[in-house]
Chain A
Amino acid sequence: MWADGDHRRVPGDKEPQLHSRPGHRGTRTMLPLLLLLLPAARGTVVTVGPEPALTQDPRLEMVTTASTFVLDQPRCVFQNYSDAVIWLVVTNDKGAFNNSMKPGTSKTAFQKFPDEVSAYMTLNVTLPSYPCPKPAGDITVLRVGSETSCAKDMSRPTCNGPLPGPGPYWVKFLALDDSGPVAETKWSMPIMLRTAQPASNISTGSGYRDGMIAITTILSILFAILLAALLAMLVFCGSESCGSSTFSKAESVSVRRYNTHHVYDQPCARL
């Protein structure tokens, strides 16, 4: 269900309609024009459609990884070339590829990329695999670099193997039929892949260590002060109260009232 080149279906969507008719309604008017142009245009490669681009919609977490990237399928781009086989050309040097290179040869073999050749061709499909228009809700993507089983297998030069380095890479689609290349897109913008840092680059943050040192120091100092105060308290003010002049307990001072026999209060004895 999820082969490269097929459209992806999100569960819940209805079955998409496969456009199996080779001709599109719009090409009927174009057909005479094409027939006129064809003798004159034999050997000329027509530039069509938007250039390949990394998938923006839907947002994919892994639109680029360290060895793969994801492109939008070229839907509604090669409509006029129903007999052609559409190839993806991947290169790290735009100038090194010309359209006369044939796929499946050692000059365009994936296994020789990038040391011996500068470009390889892969992901060949015919037009019915890219039906137009794109059904809404389908995720139509091409994952470049997903075939790991044939990466070292020289008998599969058109392998869609994982890319060997971070890039930059340029891609384009090229339509080939029996007579040679007939249509192509422009080269894409340069595609850079991710590079992974070594795990030792992660800094574990010295903030925690500072906090621990602060807490330990301050608490030790406080505890030392308390012990010193306790010692001073016991030694100097051991059994006697040493602050009796500072304050005294009000309850302990009791004034004893003496009932004095006040002579003066008695009426004077009249002599």
Chain B
Amino acid sequence: MAKSDDCVHILQGLLVFGNVVIGMCGIALTAECIYVVANSHGLDPLLKVTENSDIYAAAWIGIFVGLALFVLSILGIIAVITASRTLLLVYIILMLITFAFEMASCITAATQQESLAPEFLLKQMLNGYESSDAANNSGNEFTKTWDDLMRQNHCCGVKGPSDWQEYMSAFRATHSDADYPWPRTCCVMNEEQHPISLDGCKLGVPGYYKSNGCYDAISGPVKAYRGVAWFGFAILCWTFCVLLGTMFYWSGIED
């Protein structure tokens, strides 16, 4: 008798501990997803061009799943301590539904990772960016979006201005290398949106052209987004163990 008492207490203790961890991780997941959604203004131009709104779907699901995990963990703690079969069954079924949603969010986030990789963005930019003449407003949406991104973040290209030199691009096909080693938007501008010194910009004199790549400007939200996928995966693995333990506990108690 004493032995099985100990077993019960140990199992209860483990399940309570497991639920506490799930609750805290749920809060952390909600916080991270709120950060991604709130800081997405840096990603917005790029997402507009990649026409990818699934990234937000994963983050939004993550917010609600995190809150659900927190609430359910409290329910689980109560159910384990009172050893009520009905409560435990409710807990298990609700947790499985939450598990399914978090699984969807996680897989969506993992699938989108590829479209946020710098190489993918570089290829897109080289193929899509065409004309950077400020006077010519008939440039396509993609080019305008990239110009806005480069102006706002004081950056040029994805990894740096040499992207335009190292690879062939749609821009290079219409603009000669001697006149436009890179688009005019990469030059440091004055208030009237003219380059301070066109020759300095063409030569690459430090101070007259923007030397950072634009990927650094968006790497914060991208890293947080990667966290949504992998942190969610870790939470799900832990939840799996806790749920198995709960099912074992449920089958072992009498009502």
Q: Using a CB–CB distance below 8 Å, which chain A residues touch chain B?
A: 2, 8, 10, 58-63, 65-68, 70, 139, 141, 143, 145-148, 161-162, 194, 196-205, 208-209, 211-212, 215-216, 218-220, 222-223, 225-227, 229-230, 233, 236-237, 241-244, 246-250, 252
User: In whole angstroms, how far apart are the Cα atoms of A208 and B116 in the complex?
Assistant: 10
- Interface majority SS (helix, strand, loop, mixed), chain B: helix
Q: Using a CB–CB distance below 8 Å, which chain B residues touch chain A?
A: 4-5, 7-8, 83, 92-93, 96, 99-100, 103, 106-107, 110-111, 113-114, 117, 119-120, 122-123, 126-127, 161-162, 165-169, 172, 176-179, 181, 197-200, 202-207, 209, 211, 229, 233, 236-237, 240, 243-244, 247, 250-255
A247 nearest in chain B by CB position: B4
Contact A250 B177 (CB under 8 A): no
Residue of A201, A236, A249 contacting most chain B CB atoms (<10 Å): A249
Would you give the shortest CB distance from B226 to chain A, in whole angstroms? Answer: 9
The interface residues of chain B lying within 8 Å CB-to-CB of A204 are: 114, 117, 119-120, 123
Q: Which of B111, B177, B252 contacts A65 (CB 8 A)?
A: B177
Contact A243 B252 (CB under 8 A): yes
Contact A215 B178 (CB under 8 A): no
Given A58-B205, A204-B120, verify A241-B255 contact (CB < 8 Å). Answer: yes
Contact B167 A223 (CB under 8 A): no
Contact B123 A199 (CB under 8 A): yes
Given A146-B178, A246-B4, verify A66-B200 contact (CB < 8 Å). Answer: no
Residue of B83, B162, B202, B233 contacting most chain A CB atoms (<10 Å): B202
Contact A196 B199 (CB under 8 A): no
Given A61-B209, A63-B204, A196-B172, verify A212-B111 contact (CB < 8 Å). Answer: yes
Q: Which of B103, B200, B205 contacts A219 (CB 8 A)?
A: B103
B229 nearest in chain A by CB position: A215
Given A215-B107, A216-B110, verify A62-B204 contact (CB < 8 Å). Answer: yes
Residue of A59, A198, A203, A208 contacting most chain B CB atoms (<10 Å): A208
